[in-house]
Structure 1
Amino acid sequence: MLKSILKLAAAGAVLAVAAGNAMAAGELHIYNWGDYTNPKLIEKFEKQFDVKITLDSYDSNETMLSKVRAGNSGYDIVVPSDYTVKIMADDGLLEKTEPNTMPNFKNMRPEFVDVYWDSGRHYSVPWQYGMTNFVVNTDKYKGDIDTLGILFNPPDELKGQINVLDDMNSLTHAAERYVGVPRCGADKENLKKVSDALNAAKANWKTFSYDTITKVTSGDVSVSQTWNGAAYRMRQKMPSVKFAFPKEGIEGWMDNVSVLKGAANMDNAKAFQNFVMDPENAALISEFAGYDNGITDGLKALPKEFADAPELHLPAGAPTPEFVPPCDPAVIEIYNKIWTKLKG
């Protein structure tokens, strides 16, 4: 009889976790991008689940991945971008938490279920998604900004006033779009064109930095490669800032909540994945950082000014954002050489 009771209790606990309603007090350690997590979201989860959250930040997928690969990171949850989810899942670094069985999975927008980085959603749920282009202070330049020529062959008034992301993949892919060659291609002549374009443009760049909002709103630069949510936040401080939609192509991305393999606080981590698929909680995420999310009605509770912001919506005629899968190791090796030369 006791054995049967214990079995029933265990089954009930499993069901509670699967439903995202595990109320076990404890901890949850999250490793997320900097300036990207709404304190109100953390407070709400802590109160609802009686869980203390520790939040640390990183500035790139590569920084996060390096720390995780080193082992014993102490984190339960990470928030990798699309291509990094694919890399981490393939390398056995993520727990197969099966978000597609969680109650709030019904809220995920259908177009974000069968994605290249996690088809069917076995490892990850959306955090936010957006585009990587660039902004221009239109008080400093009145011409056409919807071209990657602004970064790679800028007009005289913008030379020396440009910040680019300190991000090998985003910058290299932008150069590939500019010179008209495929992403992740191994053709040596094409890669030379990319390298030449990057090194020629470097003379016109002022800085390599992820701190794009500060760079632009302080007046340090007039142009910065950046993300559409950051562009929205810049415009609130500086109305002359405009986000570009370059005709040569646009980088799309999605950051995703994933659980590290063998996470110490597994039940709480799964509960958090289910939690962020609730439209009200997804809205809190977007409210803070200024990006759209992959949840149905995830913007419904937010002001119309944000939901209709031009940075969040493609204008007529703009290219469809491109989500780029991980490049082959041989291509990454060449990228690394190009990047080392560029930063040297």
Structure 2
Amino acid sequence: MKSGMLAAVCGLAIMTMAGTAQAAGQLNIYNWGDYTSLDMIKKFEEKYDVKVTITDFDSNDTALAKVRAGGHGMDVVIPSSNFVPIWISEGLLLETEPNKMENFKNVEAKWQDVPYDPGRKYTVPWLWGSTGVAANTKLYKGDVNTSAIIFDPPPELQGKINVVPEMGDVMALAIMYLGGEPCSGDKALLKKVRDKLIEAKTHWLSMDYSSVEKLAKGDYSASLEWNGGVFRARLENPDIKYGYPKEGFAFWMDNVAVLKDAKNVENAKLFQNFMMTPEAAGLNSTFARYANAISGSEAYMPDDMKTATEIVIPPELEAKGKFIDVCPPDVTEFYNAIWKEVLR
């Protein structure tokens, strides 16, 4: 999902050096922008003599629409947990059975059997994290652990706020802020959510995925944001602080899946197995600054990942986090209608 997302879709070709010719060929990966460790990709290329091309997308909806349309040329896609069931139900993914792959033993037990992909028949973990809020504490001196920063911002933040425009995350935080549960179909509550979002938007500067650098530079003073992006911003500007809203915040996991119409299936399966090695997962976390689900990966990650406030959730707030699932179709229809009004 998520760290310094690129709004424009672009391609990045990474040329391989000589390596052991175990697989030879190509692999086309479709992933969120600025979310892939090039050091990790280089190791994969050299190990299998495969040239990797990465094409960026800026939202789950964008990725799904492109693949639905066909003719995309991709082999691997990285969808979020709440979208995986949609990809599976529409027959867009290949059942590669990662649970039978050599490196599946490295996946932490709690991530081996997940509701969105029971038994891990289609996907392997990429990275996981939370959606919360960020604030520049040089300007804002209040509590950072509240969504009021976004939905009822104080005067000092008004007109300086960014919101990452991922509908599921924004709707979940807004609903929890108003006392509901994610995927609520309560029409009275959803009307309040719509009104609150439309009102709050008058105080926002932008709805932008490419927010990390702007948050670090002070172009944004607050943001509804993913934790790894805030981590990266804080490394550039120590005044940036990540908050876990006490009203409720969202957990998510992004996942490596192989497309049903992939042209380089065997290389795609190799990549799934490779991403379950501690070194590959550790290099990815080091770059993107999100947690992963692979045991032993800590050995390949910097020490600051172990204590970062963006990674280590305050014990008193951990229970406020909700793992966002796919909402029922009728609820999603309501959300889409609200979202269209918000984006106008």
TM-score, normalised relative to structure 1 = 0.92
Matches within 5 A, 1:249-260: 249-260=248-259
**Whose radius of gyration is greater, 1 or 2?**
1
Q: Give the C-alpha shift of residue 22 in structure 1.
A: 9.1
* Conservation of the 8 A alpha-carbon contact between 2:21 and 2:49: no
* Conservation of the 8 A alpha-carbon contact between 1:292 and 1:299: no
Partner of 2:276: 277
Partner of 2:156: 157
Q: What secondary structure is seen at the aligned counterpart in 2 of 1:311?
A: coil
Matched, 1:74 2:76: no
Q: Give the C-alpha shift of residue 76 in structure 1.
A: 0.4
The one-letter amino acid paired with 1:128 is: L
CA, structure 1 residues 24+221, in 2 after alignment: closer, same or farther (shift >3 Å)? closer
Q: Give the C-alpha shift of residue 285 in structure 1.
A: 0.6
The one-letter amino acid paired with 1:199 is: I
Partner of 1:16: none
Q: Give the C-alpha shift of residue 196 in structure 1.
A: 1.3
Q: What secondary structure is seen at the aligned counterpart in 2 of 1:300?
A: helix
* Conservation of the 8 A alpha-carbon contact between 1:212 and 1:225: no
Matched, 1:111 2:106: no
Q: What secondary structure is seen at the aligned counterpart in 2 of 1:170?
A: helix
Deviations 1:276-325, CA, capped at 9 Å, x for gaps: 10001111111111101010122222221122211101112013321111
Matches within 5 A, 1:1-344: 23-320=22-319, 321-344=321-344
The one-letter amino acid paired with 1:274 is: N
The one-letter amino acid paired with 2:337 is: K
Identity %: 47
Q: Give the C-alpha shift of residue 59 in structure 1.
A: 0.7
Deviations 1:66-93, CA, capped at 9 Å, x for gaps: 0000012110000000011111011111
Task: Name the CA distance, whole Å, in 2 between partners of 1:22 and 1:107.
Answer: 25
| Runs of 5+ consecutive residues of structure 1 not aligned to the other structure | 1-20
* Conservation of the 8 A alpha-carbon contact between 1:283 and 1:298: yes
| CA root-mean-square deviation | 1.3
* Conservation of the 8 A alpha-carbon contact between 2:133 and 2:145: no
Q: Give the C-alpha shift of residue 177 in structure 1.
A: 0.6
Q: Which 4+ runs in 1 deviate beyond 6 A?
A: none
More helix by share: 1
* Conservation of the 8 A alpha-carbon contact between 1:61 and 1:80: yes
Task: Name the CA distance, whole Å, in 2 between partners of 1:149 and 1:195.
Answer: 15
Task: Name the CA distance, whole Å, in 1 between partners of 2:93 and 2:182.
Answer: 26
TM-score, normalised relative to structure 2 = 0.92
Aligned pairs, number = 324
* Conservation of the 8 A alpha-carbon contact between 1:247 and 1:319: no
